[in-house]
Structure 1
Amino acid sequence: MEESFSVSATPPAPDQGGRHRSIFAKSKHPVILKFEDVVYKINTETSNYKCVTEIRKKLKSKKGGSSSNSDSEREILKGLSGAVVPGEMLAMMGPSGSGKTTLLTALGGRMSGGGHVSGSITYNGRPLSNGMRRNMGFVTQDDVLYPHLTVTETLVYTALLRLPKSLSKQEKVSQAEAVMGELGLNTCRNSIIGGPMLRGVSGGERKRVSIGQEMLINPSLLFLDEPTSGLDSTTAQRIVSTLWELSKGGRTVVMTIHQPSSRLFYMFHKLLLLSDGNPVYFGKGSEALDYFARIGYVPAVPMNPADFLLDLANGVLSDDTLDNRIAIKEALVTAYKSHVQNRVRDEGREVTSHFKQEEPETNQWTTSWWEQFKVLLERGIKERRHESFSGLKIAQVLVVAVVSGILWWQSGAHVQDQVGLLFFISGFWGFFPVFQAIFTFPQERMMLTKERSSRMYRLSSYFMSRVVGDLPMELILPTGFITIVYWMSGLKPTAANYFTTLSVLLLSVLVAQGIGLAIGALIMNLKSAATLGSVIMLTFMLAGGYYVQNVPVFISWIRYVSMSFYSFKLLVASQYSATDTYGCNPMATCKVADIRSVDLVGFSHRSAAIMAMFAMLFAYRFIAYLALMRIGVTR
């Protein structure tokens, strides 16, 4: 599939229709973002805030206060209001834990978990819709990118998925090239993104790639969570300058930022300052210091305005006692309600009444199911080939194959030993694929959440691309394994027996992979999923008919849902028949069917066993698909 797209050395020129505009060109669908009295509450008894609640209760008891029922529910956001119009860049500032990211997530329509958001959030006076969702960009604080893809591949695949089907493939590639050029990414275009254990592009370049992914669709509304986090001042300046230029094109830009330099601070058109979930300022960034001076708060020495505002939001001035910090925060909240709150609400009503616009897009997908499938399949193979064919994994399989071949070397005359070999093959290729597949969806959860929230593709196209893309990578290793073991161990040396054994093994591998996919999608926690996978596969193996022949009746039903039972049964049938005999002692021959473990699985009902394996093949994948519907949007 390498011919699916080509990337030229220099960005192509725009076509005559002007389709490939600069990313700084004017937005086609300006958006006014308005939020009013936004409150977010979370149940602390069933969340990670439980420990915080306990500490608060202890502090109250030490002060002689009593805990109330409200301690079981914590307000993260406490009645936030504001409006941002096209051409403006809003910066949300505040200390860590003040609710910046929570508010940004709520405004971007990406809130999840057990909390509850109340209040009004509108986009051009309407609630969030699928059409509006596709017209906005959201850049998370942690850059969620595939580590083995290059910068060019990352942006081109995003363009192929997110740009409308009215554009040709080459036009989409040209748009990705244009974005790379204007974000200064041409120098690293062929470098891989990298990750924690893989060297790649720099932090600033990763951030620009993340921004570039969102700018490909020319969004009218752009959210960014800490876009300058961890970057040096020069790189941070370049990124914020880029965002400022984007806003000049009629876009609405909203970002959280922790502690900007003074140069960055004065670039913000509007500023929202938060303190413990309360608003303490909303207005022009250039007028923030004047407002706080009017209510009696002036920096004692010349300093970065952002540093002074963060000190205020923390309640830190000259006297850094706990009581004084609480008093300052309460005074700031009171001042906001008296001097700012009504003005903010009036401005919100005024801008909304002067702006009316239809939905920017319909609710249809931008690309067809088949196009999504092809792009996701190609991208997935390129990203996962390094892991699937890693030297460690290949060496692991080859070593086990050679050791098994040596232990069972030419054991054709020892039927009981060969039956044991068949059960070992069934067990090994039950466990191995399960634990490879368990990691699939938990590792991709953040990427799937990000892309599905942007409605880049259907869940079905993603799932099918994963299933199909994994087939060659998952079936080559067991094919090599059985080829080595089969001839070294002296199993029946005929083409029919070999290919029958291989077919049974590959079917078993696919079923085991389905079990792993289902467990991983249901649990989404690697440690818990691995534990559950071990318990299930050990149970299946113990009920497989080799270790225990006299299984109690009340638990014997497990064999009929055990893939190990059916896999062992079919592997035995691939080598022997009910009439085959072997030399059980020097003076007599015995039937293979009389071996206790063989007798338990039997030679009858092979068609039913095959049907059961195929039923499990599809059932486990269907369970995995249903479990994935919880992630992102569900259509």
Structure 2
Amino acid sequence: MDNQEVSMDAEAQIENTDDDRSLPFSVFKKANIPVTLKFENIVYTVKLKEQKGWFGQTKVKSEERTILKGLTGIVKPGEILAMLGPSGSGKTSLLTALGGRVGDGKGKLTGKITYNNKPLSRAVKRTTGFVTQDDALYPQLTVKDTLVYTALLRLPNSFTRQDKIKQAEAVVTELGLDRCKDTIIGGPFVRGVSGGERKRVSIGQEILINPSLLFLDEPTSGLDSTTAQKIVSVLWELARGGRTVITTIHQPSSRLFYMFDKILLLSEGNPIYFGLGSTAMDYFASVGYSPSVERINPSDFLLDIANGVGSDESQRPEAMKEALAAAYNTNLLENVINEVKGQHDICNQPIENPGRETNHFGEWPTTWWQQFTVLLERGLKQRRHDSFSTLKIFQIIFVSLLCGLLWWQTSISRLQDQIGLLFFVSSFWAFFPLFQQIFTFPEERKMLEKERSSGVYRLSPYFMSRVVGDLPMELILPSVFLFLTYLMAGLKYKLGNFFLTLLVLLVHVLVSGGLGLALGALVMDQKSATTLGSVIMLTFLLAGGYYVRHVPVFISWIKYVSIGYYTYKLLILGQYTENESYPCGENGKLKCHVGDFEGIKHIGFNGGLVSAFALAAMLVGYRVVAYIALMRIGKTKCG
């Protein structure tokens, strides 16, 4: 098919979608500020890492690998640049660098990247959309919910809340998502929307802000040709509104190939072609590389030569790659440099827009409180099925009833059994919240990186929304557990004793959950964090004062950092007094003081306030550690 004919067909298809634009917020309107992106002599090197240790630590080697090797180019408003190349050629690295997402510690980036002749700034980030390859979305939210919450967070306060919702609804309609707007996104174990619909939702999240720059990493990966055509048609229409669109793509069909304005072909980090897609085949023919068959998908041919596979089978792949890189430097590089240096018309326009639809609202698009409330609402809706799932409720009620039956109506005459129950309660509610919370941040890492890199919200409202949003599950389930167990086991039927025991248990649950948050945020690997959490909690358990009463001096310090030790002590103080009597001796004919009981004597009845303060310090301290550990997630040069 003739190249020009394909382009005209695609343009006609886009024109046909412009007939009905009666919606108040059209996502295909013109960009607020056109942005010309230039990159000059981009070199990116990383230090090689190897996995070491038990808990996922990495050791950095001294040797470096150069991922990008001196790339130069320009993309103007209204153009789509497609970056092609084999896996490992540096496409995603370049896209990440151009999008300003190469943060500290990820490698060394040199060269010059400018946006309208200005360096990366927060204003640029506010007007930039970035669609990742893996579609980081919450599985339990519907399509409409996903876009509405994104609009509430990313659109500035110059929009009313109702206007933000209308903007999200317009995106749903114009991206053809009306049919599935009330369907959940889904995930690996939850059925939801299709792959193409997921990708359109991801694109919709970014175009909500009417971006001037739009970056996409493999937007057609894993999609059939028809769905891929729809995605690229959306990108074409967005570009026609004056946006600058840059995308990586692995192996587009011939029809998609001719819809891209410019092509950048990479081979092992080297550029071997940069220019119009319609002239790529003619260029390679001019330097001695023509396809062996007459009809071939241009992208297939370009990927073959980028891999060093040509019609001349006698030529070694490495020699062919070197020849192509040399041909680029000889025939194309000077023209590319001249185009970059000669672009002065729109490049000096500042990226600011004081009008109603600005994306730059102070330092953040919304206030701290707005971010907190939206994130809290979104988090509760996302986790409502998991927090109070049937399985969890069954687990808690079953264990509580089992405890009640095993310890049925134990009286103070069975003091050893009672303190055994108290220790089991503290042990069970040490592990349960730990393993509930330890997965929190590892599971949300991709979403947090994505939204933090885009400057959607501060870290503090996100963290607080997680802490507050988890409180219902952390407080209600242990309360139900204790109520059932307490009544059946025959512990002291006094409101004061019950509520003191409940208070101690709830604080204990919050502290154990805080430890889980801290470990998850520090390690950011579910398997390693689980192993580490098990080791730490078992250590605390053994030092809790129930199993070992005469601990050697050189290791006795462990009890002073043990959550279980302080909780066990406070649970005993909540049930007994030192001079309280219990039956002892043969057949229980004697009366002894609880304070002299062998299982309680070494715990003692002193230091209740110290134990309370220790738990309070842990309650705050573990969460501070988790917050500090999260500060490294999503950090880039511009915040």
TM-score, length-normalised on structure 2? 0.91
Deviation at 1:21, TM superposition (A): 3.1
Say whether 1:124 aligns with 2:116: yes
Residue 8 of structure 2 aligns with which residue?
A: none
Shift of 1:597: 3.0
1:621 aligns with 2:620: no
Q: CA RMSD in A?
A: 1.8
Deviation at 1:591, TM superposition (A): 1.1
- 1:376-387 pair list within 5 angstroms: 376-387=375-386
1:305 aligns with 2:298: yes
1:99 aligns with 90
Higher mean C-alpha deviation, range 387-396 or range 154-163: 387-396
Distance in 1 (CA, whole Å) between partners of 2:51 and 2:95 is 20
Corresponding residue for 1:61? none
CA-CA distance at 1:401 after TM superposition: 1.1
CA distance in 2, matches of 1:32, 1:167: 27
Deviations 1:492-537 (A, max 9, x none): 1122211111111001000111010001000101111111111111
User: Does 2:47 correspond to 1:43?
Assistant: yes
Confirm or deny: 8 A CA contact 1:455 1:633 kept in the other structure. Answer: no
Contact in 2 for aligned 1:546/1:597 (Cα 8 Å)? yes
Pairing of 1:125-524 with structure 2 (within 5 A): 125-301=117-293, 302-320=295-313, 324-352=316-344, 354-360=346-352, 361=360, 364-412=363-411, 413-524=413-524
- TM-fit CA distance, 1:541: 1.2
CA contact (8 A) 2:433 2:513 kept: yes
Q: Confirm or deny: 8 A CA contact 1:130 1:363 kept in the other structure.
A: no
What percentage of aligned pairs have identical amino acids? 61
Report the CA distance shift for 1:46/1:421 in structure 2 as closer, same or farther (over 3 A): same
Residues 160/14 of structure 1: CA separation in 2 closer, same or farther (3 Å cut): farther
Tell me how far 1:71 sits from its aligned partner: 9.3
Deviation at 1:82, TM superposition (A): 0.4
Q: Any idea what the Cα deviations from partners look like across 1:395-425, whole Å, max 9, x if unmatched?
A: 2212211111111111113111101110111
Amino acid at match of 1:192: I
Aligned partners of 2:303 and 2:328: how far apart in 1?
A: 16
Equivalent in 64, 74, 92 of residue 73 of structure 1: 64
Partner of 1:59: none
SS of the residue corresponding to residue 414 of structure 1 reads helix
- Give the drift of 1:554: 2.1
Aligned partners of 1:292 and 1:100: how far apart in 2? Answer: 20
Shift of 1:353: 6.1
Question: Once the 2 structures are TM-superposed, how far is the Cα of residue 600 of structure 1 from its aligned partner?
Answer: 2.0
- Structure 1 SS opposite 2:348: coil
Letter in 2 for 1:37: N
1:309 alignment partner AA: L
CA distance in 2, matches of 1:590, 1:71: 69
The residue type paired with residue 171 of structure 2 is V
> In terms of mean alpha carbon deviation, does 288-297 or 146-155 score higher?
288-297
Asked if the contact 2:127/2:211 (under 8 Å) is kept, the reply is yes
Q: Secondary structure at the match of 2:168?
A: helix
Which one is further off, 331-340 or 490-499? 490-499
Structure 2 counterpart SS, 1:456: coil
Verify the 8 A CA contact 1:131 1:363 in the aligned structure 2. Answer: no
8 Å CA contact 1:426–1:564 kept in 2: the answer is yes
- Per-residue Cα deviation, 1:310-332 (whole angstroms, up to 9, x for no partner): 111111123446x5212211111
Classify the secondary structure of the residue corresponding to 1:566: helix
1: CA distance between counterparts of 2:43 and 2:466?
Answer: 39
In structure 2, the partner of 1:86 is: 77
Q: Read off the aligned partner of 2:41 and give its amino acid letter.
A: D
State the Cα distance separating 1:73 from its structure 2 match. Answer: 1.7
Following superposition, the deviation at residue 363 of structure 1 comes to: 5.2
- Any conservation in 1 of the 2:157–2:361 contact (CA below 8 Å)? no
SS in 1 for 2:624: helix
Structure 1 unaligned residues grouped into runs of 5+? 1-12, 49-69
Deviation at residue 369 of structure 1 after TM alignment: 0.3
Contact 1:40 1:116 in 2 (8 A): yes
Distance (Å, rounded) in 2 between the aligned partners of 1:100 and 1:363: 33
Q: Which piece of structure 1 moves more, 616-625 or 534-543?
A: 534-543
Displacement of 1:46 after TM fit? 4.5
Of 548-557 and 144-153, the range deviating more from structure 2: 548-557
Q: 1:628 to 1:352 in 2, by over 3 A?
A: farther
Decide which of 37, 41, 47 is 1:33's aligned counterpart. 37
Bigger shift: residues 447-456 or 559-568: 559-568
Q: How does 1:561-600 map to 2 (within 5 A)?
A: 561-585=561-585, 586-600=588-602
In structure 1, give the amino acid aligned to 2:370: E
> CA–CA distance in 2 between the matches of 1:351 and 1:580?
89
Q: 2:144, 2:135 → 1: CA distance?
A: 16
Q: SS where residue 175 of structure 1 aligns?
A: helix
In structure 1, the partner of 2:5 is none
Determine which of 608, 612, 623 is the counterpart of 1:610: 612
Work out the CA distance in 2 between the residues paired with 1:373 and 1:182.
29
Name the amino acid aligned to 1:583.
P
Amino acid at match of 1:24: F
Three-state SS of the structure 1 residue aligned to 2:349 is coil
Alignment-derived partner of residue 56 in structure 1: none
- Cα deviations by residue, 1:165-207 (Å, 9 ceiling, x for unpaired): 1111100000001111110001111000000111000110000
User: In 2 relative to 1, CA 14–168 (structure 1 residues): closer, same or farther, beyond 3 Å?
Assistant: farther
**Greater relative contact order (Cα 8 A, min sep 6): structure 1 or 2?**
2
In 2, the alpha carbon distance for the partners of 1:139 and 1:557 equals 50
Q: Secondary structure at the match of 2:602?
A: helix
Give, in angstroms, the shift of residue 44 of structure 1: 2.4
Alpha-carbon contact 2:115-2:347 (below 8 Å) kept? no
Q: Deviations over 1:341-391 (max 9, x none)?
A: 111111111114652122323651100000000000000001011111112
Q: CA deviation at 1:14?
A: 10
Greater Cα shift, 111-120 or 216-225: 111-120
The worse-fitting range, judged by mean Cα deviation, of 441-450 and 596-605 is 596-605
Q: Distance in 2 between matches of 1:253 and 1:199?
A: 31
Q: Contact 1:429 / 1:508 at 8 angstroms: preserved in 2?
A: yes
Q: Which amino acid aligns with 2:368?
A: W
TM-score after normalising by structure 1 = 0.92
Tell me the CA shift for residue 558 of structure 1.
Answer: 1.7
Per the alignment, residue 51 of structure 1 pairs with none
- CA distance 1:292–1:71, shift in 2 (3 Å): farther
Residue 564 to residue 352, structure 1, CA distance change in 2 (3 Å) = farther
